[in-house]
Structure 1
Amino acid sequence: MSAFVVHRNGRAATAEELAPLAFAGYAHFTAMQVRGGKVRGLDLHLERLRLASMELFGRASPDDRVRSRLRAALESGPADVSLTATVYSSPGEFIGEAGDAEIELLVRTGPPSSGPAGPLALATVEYERVLPSVKHVGEVAKTYFMRRAVRDGLDDAAFVDRRGRLSEGTIWNLAFWDGDAVVWPDAEMLTGTTMGIVRRQLDRLGVPQRVAEVTPADLPTLAGAVVMNSWTPGVAVQRIGAVPVPAAPRFLELLHRAYQAEPLTAC
């Protein structure tokens, strides 16, 4: 049994199969943390892959086929891993219409992660992603703005859209706390799987939630902020742009409790 794997369509990928992908940029993916060979929010990951495939390729692999290929990768390595599943089409990205070409699935596993400890200081950047509802590859802007923030002595960046609304982070969803309810930004963004898990579990816990436009000018009226992604349901944010954000340990604990309430599911 090897430590980590790269599988293409359910079997170990060869160098010849992987080489063309080093120069490709038309694909989408989902990322997840696997613990004990199981995943939280598997239904959300499958839905993400299915909907994004329909958007990019006009067709999607059946969920049971995707699950079998995820399972094959997990059976080849340790029980706790980070897993990335990337969907692409073999004809390549510069083909006007891929016709009936098979939708390919590349699965990669690596060391598990729980994200940074925080609290984080975020730069604000005016930026809107193309196809924000799709977790697609080849987004140089995310890494560029993250690195620019680090160069300037910060930890990462948050995006502000053309209407002045905070939307998301480079690789994160944003969430805010008003002292009583969780506030989700009203803007075009990628709806994260962890965000989906937390929202449905907060509903089950009876925690108030609302969706509202949040601008940098609104930050002084809020009682806390976090970022979340597949690594973690919440890392505290202490500053966004020039505005300090108060610590909100109750908010952070609530998000982690909601996430832990989501059952783990085998692929």
Structure 2
Amino acid sequence: MTAFVVHRNGRAATAEELAPLAFSGYAHFTALQVRGGRVRGLDLHLERLRSASEVLFGRAVPDARVRSWLRAALEAGPADLSLTATVYSPAGEFTASGADAEPEVLIRTGPPSSGPDGPLALATVEYERVLPAVKHVGEVAKTYFLRQAVSRGFDDAAFVDRRGRLTEGTIWNLAFWDGTAVVWPEGAMLAGTTMGIVRRQLDRLGVPQRTKEVTPADLPALAGAVVMNSWTPGVAVRRIGTVSVPEAPSFVELLHRAYQAEALTSP
């Protein structure tokens, strides 16, 4: 099969079902890459959907049901693809009614992606996301700051919180290298699934990791920086704001090696 799909609760979505969602922003999602009909970090994606649903809706779709709907979408498409699973309430947004409605799941597939080649230059923007631990939709600021960064000659943007700490990118997690250990920035942010995969595999490889506050002033003392998301476990960053950062190819290779050590599984 070579078709990409849009499924609602495990079957092809109709225009009538999709129309109310066109402007809906009260939802959350997870994005993943499928290779050979299998995925990495399935447990992390399912946990993300469960926990975010509990926050937004007070209930979650059972894992077994989500997995069956993922399988239906994968069986309809090619072996390699990108997939986004969005959980929303049929009650919509801007209303307090319908809070007891069962969440529904929209699954969309498309061509596979591996992200940009890099190295990237990131503008710094003072910004903190609402509900940072939830991968929610309707975040106009992300696209706005991305486009503003590009208009200024950067490739993307990194966020700095009110305490001056680097936290995350527009659609990325940040990771740094101090020459001996992987440094994860401390602050309120989304814990990415790729980040989770890399962290547990680095543990298995015996690679030192630590979490600490990282500010723009700390960058000159670091030996490398990357961004990562569902596309890739690491794209080199060459500059953050006005500060140049070494590209550290061995650091990027280490993150990719850790990611590749995670087994591919079927939903």
TM-score bin (small chain): over 0.9
Separation in 2 of the partners of 1:156 and 1:23? 25
Name the residue aligned to 2:15.
15
The residue type paired with residue 61 of structure 1 is V
Name the residue aligned to 1:24.
24
8 Å contact from structure 2 (residues 9, 105) kept in 1: yes
**Partner of 1:23: helix, strand, or coil?**
coil
**TM-score normalised over the length of structure 2:** 0.99
Name the residue aligned to 1:223.
223
Structure 1 residues 122-161: Cα deviation after superposition (integer angstroms, max 9, x where no partner): 0000000000000000000000000000011110000000
User: How far 1:67 moved relative to its partner?
Assistant: 0.3
Where does 1:42-121 land on structure 2 (aligned, <5 Å)? 42-121=42-121
The residue type paired with residue 208 of structure 2 is P
**TM-score normalised over the length of structure 1:** 0.99
Name the residue aligned to 2:239.
239
Name the residue aligned to 1:154.
154
**Partner of 1:19: helix, strand, or coil?**
helix
Separation in 2 of the partners of 1:4 and 1:195? 27
8 Å contact from structure 1 (residues 57, 98) kept in 2: no
Cα RMSD for the two superposed structures? 0.7
The residue type paired with residue 136 of structure 1 is H
Identity over the aligned pairs, expressed in percent?
A: 82
Where does 1:169-248 land on structure 2 (aligned, <5 Å)? 169-248=169-248
Name the residue aligned to 1:41.
41
User: How far 1:97 moved relative to its partner?
Assistant: 4.2
Structure 1 residue runs of 4 or more that deviate by more than 3 Å after TM superposition: none
**Partner of 1:163: helix, strand, or coil?**
coil
Structure 1 residues 101-127: Cα deviation after superposition (integer angstroms, max 9, x where no partner): 121000000000000000000000000
Separation in 1 of the partners of 2:2 and 2:178? 47
Structure 1 residues 211-239: Cα deviation after superposition (integer angstroms, max 9, x where no partner): 00000000000000000000000000000
Gapped runs of 5+ residues in structure 1?
none
Structure 1 residues 179-206: Cα deviation after superposition (integer angstroms, max 9, x where no partner): 0000000010000000000000000000
Name the residue aligned to 1:131.
131
Aligned residues, how many? 267
Separation in 2 of the partners of 1:258 and 1:214? 23
**Partner of 2:163: helix, strand, or coil?**
coil
8 Å contact from structure 1 (residues 166, 215) kept in 2: yes
The residue type paired with residue 262 of structure 2 is E
User: How far 1:91 moved relative to its partner?
Assistant: 1.1
Gapped runs of 5+ residues in structure 2?
none
